[in-house]
Amino acid sequence: MKDTLKRYWGYDAFRPMQEEIVSSVLEGRDTLAILPTGGGKSVCFQVPAMMREGIAVVVSPLIALMKDQVQNLDRRGIKALAVYSGMTHREIDIALDNAVYGGFKFLYVSPERLRTVLFRTRVAKMTVSMLVVDEAHCISQWGYDFRPDYLEIAEIRKIIGMDVPVVALTATATPQVADDIMDKLLFRSKNLLKGDFSRPNLAYVVRKAEDKMGQLLRVCEGVKGSGIVYVSKRKNAENLASFLCAHNIGAEAYHAGMARQTRSDVQDRWKCGATRVIVSTNAFGMGIDKSDVRFVCHFDMPDTVEGYFQEAGRAGRDGCDSYAVLLWNDSDIRSLRQILRTTYPPLDYIRDIYQKVYTFLGYSYEEGKGACVKFDIEKFAKDFRLHASTAYYAVKYIESAGYWSLTESLRIPAKVQFAVSRDALYHVQLKSSEMDGFIKVLLRIYPGIFSEYVPVDLEKIGRLGGYAPEVVHDKLRALSRENVIKYIPLINSPMLNLNYERLDPKNLRLPQSDYDASLRRHFDRLEGIIGYVSQESSCRSRYLLRYFGQDKSHDCGKCDVCRKKR
């Protein structure tokens, strides 16, 4: 084991619990590993996968994280690939063929792919070394981020054989959720390996504050080093970053509404220390490997203990003293309770949204099954004169019932293929010297463009040809209208995967009992975080540990409650 760890990852020793988890997997046992944020979960399945024959199939809900993992493995000389929404049928076909015959060690797959006939047919032909379930709490309705597509994993187990071990990983699971994960994944016998969630170097501080901006400024001035400030809205991220900069604290905003390259540049400047504080929505943090974050401050109150614990845990991974600060006031609690009401619009409204979505996408009754389509929630709401937030939560509720899956926002590059022969293309070039130069740039960058769709970078074409990106787009559109090329423009949008054909109202099953149970679970999680901030008698660390089922603990001596007692 340690030879493999050293050879590919360069480490001489495992972190706490990693070796026990790796040993359990190598013994062929179904294993649920619960490790805190920053505990090194990926090593727990990647090391044994390198030691077992075949390919590890890894189910992950985060496409950006999948891409990062594949790139990291490639850099280590390990063959890995990924399949997710937004890829063309041909791209998926080639990737799955490589998984069967190409000697790859890892296949990352998004959960909505699991139900497709194409995936199920090909996975049956693979020599699967293990089935890995990342963010395993998503399979439990008791978890805080339930995804119905995760329930398909049990069917995949039956296809590849129940003797293939399953490795489930999560950073946040209560005892009830842990039992549910093992049950839903058809564990042959219960096997839970859990790390120590206590963070002795991390001081949890909760402050009730009406002047949050003043408190944030004191945190940034009082704690030296790098920090993350979490907010609930994109606009807040921009405003707070400007506020901190005005007070001579190097800060930048980060949120999903920014261009991908802009986000990447912001992240890189923060990681190397050029930017001290990053102000972000919860779009930031997954897979970020920066160990010297000295503080994480929640400017807006989070809505679950699970989400808070994961985000706060990004501070102090290097073991040095760090702070997790949560600012709140009574209006935050009122807002969260109001959001809960918005999150669960009436069932009749949800049923109406179901029909409107299919109408918006252009599908009649009994049409649409298996489609993966771009879905612009803002345009949808505008077309039907709906409140965008309420409509979004109705769409998410229908997703929780399993009728469709809404992916995170995807940036899918533009694709081009020539639709004419080289001889015919020559005549096109003769007719226009301007288009001749443009076509030559295309051919120089993308030599395989005649035989198949090729992803193209409009900015790169523009740089080499001396065009603005919008001019490149216009020229490609012009060639497409003349049937010289087939052109699929860039997509930067969430995708909606339709699991079933459109149902008429009498066949749509959204029971009141399921709605009530889901609302109760959401309410209980909300009360959990309200209880955490409002209580002042129990050590913050012990409160969090008890929430996740770790009963053996002691007062940390560092949190605001412990300091007040002293």
Query: What would you report as the CA-atom Rg of the chain, rounded to the nearest whole angstrom?
Result: 25
Please say whether the beta carbons of 313 and 171 come within 8 A.
Answer: yes
How far is CA 50 from its chain centroid?
25
Cα atoms in the 13 Å half-sphere on the side-chain side of 460: 10
Q: What is the largest CA-CA distance in the chain?
A: 86
CA–CA separation, 235 and 282 (whole Å): 13
- Measured between alpha carbons, how far is 493 from 90 in angstroms, rounded to an integer? 21
Can you give the pLDDT at residue 283? 64
Nearest to 323 by CA among 560, 66, 55: 560
Question: Is residue 269 within 8 Å of residue 338, measured between CB atoms?
Answer: no
CB–CB of 336/530 below 8 Å? yes
Q: Are 47 and 76 in contact (CB under 8 A)?
A: no
pLDDT of 409: 64
Residue 334 structure tokens: 């009122």
| Residue 205 per-residue DSSP state | E
- Cα angle value 157/159/165 (rounded, 5°): 35
Helix/strand/coil for 40: coil
Q: Per DSSP, which regions of 338-443 are E strands? A: 372-374, 404-406, 410-412, 414-418
Q: Are 55 and 195 in contact (CB under 8 A)?
A: no
Whether 405 and 399 have beta carbons less than 8 Å apart is answered as: yes
- Phi, psi of 187, deg, nearest 5: -55, 135
Q: How many helices (H) and strands (E) does the chain have?
A: 23, 21
The neighbour count for residue 520, using CB atoms within 10 Å, is 10
Q: How far apart are CA 59 and CA 130, in angstroms?
A: 11
The answer to whether the beta carbons of residues 228 and 278 sit under 8 Å apart is: yes
Report the pLDDT value the prediction gives residue 285, as an integer from 0 to 100.
61
Give me the residues paired with residue 297 across strands.
229, 325
Q: Which fold has domain 337-410+493-520?
A: Arc Repressor Mutant, subunit A (1.10.10)
* CB atoms near residue 261 (< 10 Å): 10
Task: Round to whole Å and give the CA distance between 307 and 144.
Answer: 8
pLDDT of residue 358: 97
> What is the pLDDT at residue 411?
64
Query: Distance (Å, rounded) from C-alpha 363 to C-alpha 356?
Result: 10
Per-residue pLDDT of the chain (566 residues; tens, 9 = 90+): 888 988 888 888 998 899 999 999 999 999 999 998 777 889 999 999 999 999 999 999 887 788 889 989 999 999 999 998 778 788 899 999 999 998 899 999 999 889 889 999 999 999 999 999 999 999 998 888 888 899 999 999 999 999 999 999 998 889 999 999 999 999 999 999 998 888 999 999 999 999 999 999 999 999 999 999 999 988 899 999 999 999 999 999 998 778 767 888 898 899 899 999 999 987 666 556 688 999 999 999 999 999 899 899 999 988 899 999 999 999 999 999 988 888 899 999 999 999 999 999 999 999 999 888 889 888 999 999 999 889 999 999 999 999 998 876 666 678 888 888 877 887 777 777 778 888 888 888 888 788 778 888 888 888 888 888 788 888 898 888 888 888 877 766 788 989 999 999 999 999 999 999 999 999 999 999 999 999 999 999 999 999 998 888 899 999 999 999 87
Q: 46: closest CA among 68, 71, 69?
A: 69
Q: Which among 357, 378, 397 is positioned nearest to 512, based on CA atoms?
A: 397
Q: What is the pLDDT of residue 478?
A: 87
Give me the architecture of the 202-328 domain, per CATH. Answer: 3-Layer(aba) Sandwich (3.40)
Q: Does domain 2-194 have CATH number 1.20.120.1200?
A: no
Residue pair 286/313 in contact (Cβ under 8 Å)? The answer is: no
pLDDT of residue 287: 55
Query: For the whole model, what pTM was predicted?
Result: 0.79
Q: For residue 336, what pLDDT is reported?
A: 92
